[in-house]
Amino acid sequence: MAKYPPDRFDRPPADLQRVGAHRAPRPGRGWLTFAWAALATAALIGVGVFAMFLINDRVSFSNPFGGGDPQPSVTAEPTAVPTVEPTLDPAVNVIVLNGTTISGLAGQVGDSLEGQGWTVGARSNASTQDVQTSAIYYGDASQEGAARGLSAALGGMPIQLSDQFVVEGESRITVVLGADYAPPA
């Protein structure tokens, strides 16, 4: 390799403060980059949240403190909600599940229901033994009358329309006994 004689470019001035072939970075510029990044992040999050509210129709630009109609609104008389009459339906298969640690509770309740004319298909323990609230679950609105009748037979246990215990092709109502269960008087 050829060797060239030294010239003025081989001796840089001493006050240049070079780092390698580059100049030293200027101090104090990192906070400005961080501030721009934080501002951009906040703006993107704000736009995203606003867009989600618009998509879900949850944003309303009405006055939350009233100020709309100065005249008081007339409230309609509450109408009675029609309820289905409780019935005894022996065609409905009743499943009794014990969700407590009391041994044999499902059998006792099942025997009591059979004595009242209900068809009890199974008496068993629930998948968990720490159920707190007893309830009657029915899977079809046409079973509401039977569920209300079953509730009356069990001392007013709450009923709930749910597909949690539905088995396709079976007409059944499931009674889940919880820690709050008390036998009817």
pLDDT in tens, the chain (185 residues): 788 888 877 776 677 665 565 565 666 677 888 899 999 999 999 999 888 877 776 555 565 555 555 555 556 666 665 677 888 877 888 999 999 989 999 999 999 999 988 889 889 998 888 889 999 999 888 888 999 999 888 988 999 998 888 888 788 899 999 989 888 77
Q: Which residue has the tokens 């001392």?
A: 155
Whether the CB-CB separation of 131 and 102 falls below 8 Å is answered with no
Q: Residue 140's pLDDT is what?
A: 86
Cα–Cα distances in angstroms (integers) from residue 18 to residues 11, 23, 25, 27, 56, in the given order: 12, 5, 10, 14, 58
Task: Kindly state the tokens that stand for 39.
Answer: 């501002």
Q: What length does the chain have? A: 185
Say how far apart CA 179 and CA 1 lie, in whole Å.
94
In the sheet that holds 172-177, the strands lie side by side as 119-125, 93-98, 172-177, 135-138, 159-161
Beta carbons within 10 angstroms of residue 88's beta carbon: 14
| Full-model pTM | 0.55
**pLDDT at res. 39:** 96
Domain 93-177 in CATH 3.40.50.1400? The answer is: no
Q: What's the pLDDT score for residue 166?
A: 81
Residue 181 structure tokens: 């269960």
150 within 8 A of 171, measured Cβ to Cβ? no
Specify whether the CB–CB gap between 175 and 157 falls below 8 A. Answer: yes
pLDDT at 137: 92
pLDDT at 58: 59
What are the two backbone dihedrals, phi and then psi, of residue 22, each rounded to the nearest 5 degrees?
Answer: -115, 160
